[in-house]
């Protein structure tokens, strides 16, 4: 059978996750069904890349804008800002800017998503978020600064975890928050810009796949 060759090539241990999921769902050990699930998972991971791309760019630009209002547009080399960071975040930033700082635009894509997530902790409330978060995310209606920051941070944690699974070619079909991921992306983008959220909704393909699961 064709799936046998594919299973061996992919590795039996990797394929077992999908085979066991089919057995648990249908009660039948069906290699072809497991292969269909593998394909569906791979396609879903691929379709998530565009929303994840937009999400990360939108989030880091918004956070950068808020930091700049407090520390200036060259905030990556502002020592007061650097010293406000937790040790690991300061170390990551310094590793990027210490030798050859070429402007903010070169720094933003080099910082990990976890770094931006850490900017959404309470330690930055007094310096940044209490004053600037509603400017950075103008469509977060009827929420306090603390509520906006908490919502954004919790969403980033969940989104980052599935982003990492996709990047490492791990299964996401069995992620316990799979159906929450796109709404979290959508909500964050909408809080920043409603037109960008509408554009994203027009282009994304994730929801069509989620409406047609294999199991």
Q: What is the pLDDT of residues 17-50, one digit of tens each?
A: 999 999 999 999 999 999 999 999 999 999 999 9
Give the pLDDT confidence score for residue 116 in this predicted structure: 98
Residue 173 pLDDT level (bands cut at 50, 70, 90): very high
Give the pLDDT confidence score for residue 1 in this predicted structure: 67
Give the pLDDT confidence score for residue 7 in this predicted structure: 87
Cα–Cα dist 185/181, whole Å: 6
pLDDT in tens, 105-124: 999 999 999 999 999 999 99
Burial letters 58-91, b for 16+ CB under 10 A, else e: bbbebbbebbbebbeeebbbbeebbebbeeebee
Cα–Cα dist 214/33, whole Å: 8
Give the pLDDT confidence score for residue 151 in this predicted structure: 97
Cα–Cα dist 173/81, whole Å: 40
Which of 86, 82, 59, 87 lies closest to 72 in space, CA to CA? 82
Give the pLDDT confidence score for residue 87 in this predicted structure: 97
> Taking 70 as the threshold, does the pLDDT of residue 67 lie above it?
yes
Give the pLDDT confidence score for residue 35 in this predicted structure: 95
Give the pLDDT confidence score for residue 4 in this predicted structure: 86
9: number of Cβ within 10 Å? 8
Give the pLDDT confidence score for residue 152 in this predicted structure: 98
Q: Give the global pTM.
A: 0.94
- The three-state (H, E, C) secondary structure of 21-41, written as one string: HHHHHHCCCCHHHHHHHHHHH
Cα-Cα-Cα-Cα dihedral of 127, 156, 62, 73, to 10°?
Answer: 60
């Amino acid at each position: 059978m064709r799936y046998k060759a594919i299973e061996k090539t992919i590795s039996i241990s990797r394929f077992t996750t999908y085979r066991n999921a089919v057995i648990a769902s249908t009660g039948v050990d069906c290699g072809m069904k497991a292969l269909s699930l593998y394909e569906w998972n791979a396609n879903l991971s691929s379709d998530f890349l565009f929303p994840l791309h937009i999400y990360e760019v939108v989030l880091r630009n918004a956070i950068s804008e808020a930091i700049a209002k407090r520390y200036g547009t060259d905030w990556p080399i502002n020592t007061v800002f650097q010293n406000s960071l937790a040790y690991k975040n300061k170390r990551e930033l310094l590793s990027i800017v210490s030798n050859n700082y070429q402007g903010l635009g070169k720094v933003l894509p080099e910082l990990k998503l976890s770094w931006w997530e850490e900017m959404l902790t309470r330690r930055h409330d007094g310096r940044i978020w209490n004053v600037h978060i509603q400017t950075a995310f103008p469509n977060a209606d009827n929420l306090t600064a603390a509520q906006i920051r908490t919502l954004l941070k919790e969403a980033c944690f969940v989104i980052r975890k599935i982003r990492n699974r996709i990047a490492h070619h791990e299964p996401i079909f069995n992620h316990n928050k799979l159906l929450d991921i796109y709404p979290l992306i959508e909500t964050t983008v909408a809080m920043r810009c409603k037109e960008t959220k509408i554009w994203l909704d027009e282009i994304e393909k994730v929801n069509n796949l989620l409406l047609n699961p294999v199991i």
